[in-house]
Amino acid sequence: MASTRTEPRGWLRGLTRTERAALAVTMVFWMFDGYETFALITTGPASLHDLLPKAELPHLSQYFAYLLAISLAGWTIGGVAGGFAGDRIGRRRTMIGAVALYGVFTGLSALAPNWETLAATRLLTGLGIGAEWAVGVALLQEILPAHARTRGAGLLQGTFSAGGLIVSLLWVLFNSAQAISWRYVYLVGVLPALLVVVLRRAIPESKKWSEHKRSSAGDLVRQLAAPLPRKRLGLALLVSVAITVGFWASSSYLPSYVGALSPHRASFFSGWASALYNAGEIAGCVVFGYWAERWGRRLTTVGYFVGALVLIPVVFLLVHDATTAVLLQLLAGYAAGGIFSWYTVHTPELFPTAVRASAIGTIFNLTRVLASIGALVTGLLASVLGGVGNAAALSAIVYLLGIGAILFLPETRGRPLPS
């Protein structure tokens, strides 16, 4: 038990070579998952301003909502399919294919001649991101020892946000005021496709999966439909709805909202808003693992939901100074972004090995359909309610759904992974 209370350096030193390799590889590719995701959020308005006909520029925010919805649709399909593939053909093979897919099409996004082409490449990028997410969690949690799972999961999710931070810093470095800057950001995103070729031999396969009987797609569906997994899947989906809809319908609009508070320095403020949001998110994700180990999965999750429920309306409704709004991104990112560690910490502990990747992929990605609708609805409500701020603040109500659902899921602190 003492090992579960040591500092990060202690639990990291206790890992074997294979366990460290699994942690390092999944962290690298998750960082690029975050990079590809936040590349769209950060550069979306600028890319559309460059690609749209002048007559369509007044509707730019609506086209941005379309891009978000299309990307999320790809993420949904890829995540569910990738989860089933991970349970069927293995975590390792699925991860390699998914990383290659999202890396190649992010690089191709840099060459888009119009917004339709950009939408198509982002759809295919989403397929790869969703698939890698599901198998990455399952692989790491099945390889790490029990005392390291929670902290490792929080650290893993933190690297996703680190990818977003890199995007923000590059956006500033590439001089976001230049029309071509968004293409440079996407061009950097081709790196994971190159890295997966170099690192593929270092990616271990999960022994738990290798030793388990392979199930057909039909068997996987039937096992998930059994009473206990079905109940847990349903409740976890409700928690996921709160996390994802809350993020995509509100937090994803923070950079553009902050930029609008100071139109003459919009690029500067939106870039730093994204950077501080992601810095807060990294801290929130990593610390989530420690709180979850100390206070339990459910209580920690409720605390993050309450924080997001309070902070999002404050930022969008009560703050009208760009500098203050930028600084508050640290807290908003900590709560609304840090809650994403719930996926890596709690969901693997709810399902057995045979359906773990399928369940994780379904929970994390099926709700992307609702999130994409939420992004579209926010864009529509913005015109009705007098701006994106009012619409995004209203969407924070969804966090109440997450608070209610998490209380009905089992507390898994101190329990082994279901076999």
Mean pLDDT (whole number) for 112-134: 93
CA distance 314 to 74: 32
CA–CA distance, 362 with 130 (Å, rounded to integer)? 10
What pLDDT score was predicted for residue 176? 60
Mean pLDDT value of segment 71-100: 90
Phi and psi based region of residue 345 (left: phi greater than 0; alpha: psi -120 to 50; beta: remaining): alpha
319-337 pLDDT, tens digit per residue, is 888 889 889 989 999 999 9
Question: Which residues fall within 8 angstroms of residue 5, CB to CB, at 6 or more apart?
Answer: none
Does the pLDDT of residue 37 top 90, yes or no?
Answer: no
In this prediction, what percent of the chain has a pLDDT beyond 70? 89
In single-letter form, the type of residue at position 112 comes to A
Q: Give the residue among 42, 315, 79, 353 at the shortest CA–CA distance from 171.
A: 42
> How many alpha carbons lie under 13 Å from residue 36 in its C-beta half-sphere?
38
Q: Using pLDDT thresholds of 50, 70 and 90, give the confidence band for residue 215.
A: low
| Per-residue pLDDT tens over the stretch 272-298 | 887 888 789 899 999 999 999 999 999
Query: Model pTM?
Result: 0.79
pLDDT recorded at residue 2: 39
Check residue 357 and give its pLDDT. Answer: 84
Q: What is the pLDDT of residue 123?
A: 96
Output the pLDDT for position 6: 46
Compute the average pLDDT of residues 380-404: 82
What number is the average pLDDT over the span 239-254? 82
Assess whether pLDDT exceeds 80 at residue 107. Answer: yes
Question: Does the pLDDT of residue 247 top 90, yes or no?
Answer: no
Model confidence at 177, pLDDT cuts 50, 70, 90, reads low
pLDDT at 3 over 50: no
The predicted structure's pLDDT at residue 305 = 97
Binning the chain into helix, strand and coil, the percentages to the nearest 5 are: 85, 0, 15
Whether pLDDT at 222 is above 70: no
Residue 205 is given by DSSP the state P
Question: Is residue 5 over pLDDT 50?
Answer: no
Range among 35-44, 140-149, 275-284, 404-413 with highest mean pLDDT value: 404-413
Check pLDDT > 70 for residue 355. Answer: yes
Question: If you ran DSSP here, which 8-state letter would residue 126 be given?
Answer: H
- Residue 207: both structure tokens together: 């022994």
What number of CA atoms fall less than 13 Å from residue 102's CA on the CB side? 34
Is the predicted pLDDT of residue 28 greater than 50, yes or no? yes
Q: Between 370 and 304, whose confidence is greater?
A: 304
What value does the mean pLDDT of the chain take? 85
Q: How confident is the model at residue 1 (pLDDT cuts 50, 70, 90)?
A: very low
CATH topology of domain 14-205+213-406: Growth Hormone; Chain: A; (1.20.1250)
Q: Which range, of 71-80, 85-94, 119-128, 213-222, averages the lowest pLDDT?
A: 213-222
Q: Average pLDDT of 179-206?
A: 90
Are residues 236 and 350 in contact, defined by beta-carbon separation less than 8 angstroms?
yes
In this prediction, residue 78 has a pLDDT band, given cuts at 50, 70 and 90, of very high
Q: What is residue 403's predicted lDDT score, i.e. its pLDDT?
A: 97
Question: With 60 as the cut, is the pLDDT of residue 255 above it?
Answer: yes
| Euclidean distance between CA atoms 368 and 82, whole angstroms | 14
pLDDT of 207 > 90? The answer is no
Q: How far apart are CA 122 and CA 109, in angstroms?
A: 7
How many alpha carbons lie under 13 Å from residue 142 in its C-beta half-sphere? 30
Residue 338 in this model has a pLDDT that exceeds 80: yes
Q: What pLDDT score does 110 carry?
A: 95
